[in-house]
Structure 1
């Protein structure tokens, strides 16, 4: 299951419970009706779109892939920025969520909310890791198999732990300005995400986006953490996994639909990234 296959609204728990989760896909312009605050720590992740986030006394422009950490009882509100439509997932951690943990563990998991600067801008590799955890959590919430509540709590704890470790390694800087290079790479990534079913070559994209081949290869790696070809393969294999799980298409058809010109190359790349052959992956799922 991918984010795109989820219903527009998913809910878990409530504001009076230790863990409260909201997933929303909103079409058109949308702003919160009221500025509000609550005792729980808020863990807000913007999957797609753009927003303005008011927290305490400052307004922050946020974009797809940004993580926002709202401390307990901080007044906050979101509103539209320039683009309609957005997808977001919000986890609320109330104090009883941390019951049973040691003092050191509680302090570690709460530390991201106390950092002072609420915006965490992840690189692409970190973002994909975070989204993998979110997708596992939301899949459980949507399907609700036996023990799903335990899995959701474990995933929520892992999200906090991942963020706490990230903050210790690399403090978020109070500067969310996007550089021209980052903007260029973002445009290229969006193009890849939309056109991954078609042939994609470094030479062609370099010409299309008015950048030299060598420079594109270098800055793409610097900004995303992935090589150019590596990211294209990851994008294609993620779609192949989705089609293997959700459709009855043959493996050959999936290979073609995901942009692989050579079936044997598809099988090799799939096994490198998934750890299984396409046939074994389908059987396991």
Structure 2
């Protein structure tokens, strides 16, 4: 299977992740991948194309598509676009699971091919997602409350208007193929600061070391140790960017043995030392202040 698992970490202090699509400049292609989170792409300007299980779904401004948990998809953005992406952890919907951690949503983009089924009106959902991004970006006084109010409106509409109440057995079985690894990676994200070992994880989830190792290589296209390092680095990067913690403290707080180990991994991944990266951020902030 030629697809990769995508690691998704919510925005700091929030139960979800929201951002502008990284392919906004056009001429962008994202190969087949999957993730546990539910994902919504709301196109504000331009257009892009989704491929879900090799079926094509073109989207234009004003349209959106919902990507379900464990659903293999790829994206092609031929031209400039402005698209808001909202990623919601699967556990946010656990009260509405139909079976085996399974829940499925539809959208007008999917239903457009089925003339016998009435598609939900996307305007409300698109409005709340766009507003959610605006409020999060502006972060004016009281933004936390407004953000969560908009977010719960999104969850309400998804459960009320977009949730499919019947699940085909074949769909559930397909989802189970990736669900086992999803549970493991979720545990790793919740305990990444601890001393996690492949053997301990295998025992915890009832697998042999060799089987769990093969599972990571087959479905995540990465080995266990490298995946754990990715999680730690993602959180450490965020703290380096948004806090005044020392580099040594960031290293220890995020599961690295020491600051030297963290610095080496950071330079390997980003091509710059953590100290130089932080200095670059400080210089950029000073430059912006000079122009305001």
- TM-score scaled by structure 2? 0.47
- TM-score scaled by structure 1? 0.48
